[in-house]
Amino acid sequence: MAEVAPTSLRHRLQSKAFALLAVIFALMCLIIFYLVVVLHQSFMEQNFASRHKAVEQAFNNYLDRAEDEMRLITQDLSLNDYTSGRELDLLFSHHDALFFGELDFFYIEWGHGQHTMDPRVSFIYSSAFSPFASKRFDQ
């Protein structure tokens, strides 16, 4: 007759309890990992939304300042009688705010084929601006 190896009840209880605890530990680790991933993704979405809002506000501020500068330039050009060809020189000599504004520079092509440039162009471009100005900006 075959001999059966005696197994104690305590040994069987310990092995089954260990297996149960290992499964519970693995499930808890998976749940914690899932929560960490979800919280990280939520944080990244909030971070992206706040950065997007900051960029949007900065761009809106830039556009508001540029619009105010252009309104000031337009009003000054339309209300004052400047000599032809010297409009921007006189305009910039009267308004220091335009030098410290956010507008990079501008180029005006008058109806009679002449053009006027912002004096700050010479600080930005070392060469003549005419090759750049030959392109149409509205096309």
CA distances from 4 to 1, 10, 11, 124 (A): 9, 17, 16, 95
Residue 74 sits in which domain range?
A: 20-81
φ, ψ (nearest 5 deg) of residue 101? -80, -175
d(CA 111, CA 7): 105
The per-residue pLDDT of the chain, averaged, comes to: 76
Q: What is the mean pLDDT of residues 126-135?
A: 52
- Does residue 12 belong to any structural domain of this protein? no
d(CA 82, CA 108): 15
Number of Cα atoms under 13 Å in the Cβ half of residue 57:
6
Provide the number of structural domains found in the chain.
1
d(CA 117, CA 139): 19
- Does residue 26 belong to any structural domain of this protein? yes
The residues, ordered by sequence, that sit 6+ positions from 70 with a Cβ below 8 Å of its Cβ are: 103
- Does residue 77 belong to any structural domain of this protein? yes
- Does residue 37 belong to any structural domain of this protein? yes
Render pLDDT for 34-76 as a digit per residue (tens, 0 to 9).
999 999 999 999 999 999 999 999 989 888 887 887 787 777 7
pLDDT of 74: 76
pLDDT band at 88 (very low <50, low <70, confident <90, very high): low
Q: Are 77 and 94 in contact (CB under 8 A)?
A: no
**Pair of tokens at residue 95:** 């308004």
**Pair of tokens at residue 133:** 């100005």
**Pair of tokens at residue 44:** 């990244």
- Does residue 50 belong to any structural domain of this protein? yes
Higher pLDDT, 120 or 78: 78
pLDDT of 10: 86
- Does residue 25 belong to any structural domain of this protein? yes
Beta strand ranges found along the chain (DSSP E):
107-109, 115-117
Q: Are 65 and 102 in contact (CB under 8 A)?
A: yes
- Does residue 72 belong to any structural domain of this protein? yes
Higher pLDDT, 98 or 38: 38
- Does residue 133 belong to any structural domain of this protein? no
pLDDT band at 77 (very low <50, low <70, confident <90, very high): confident
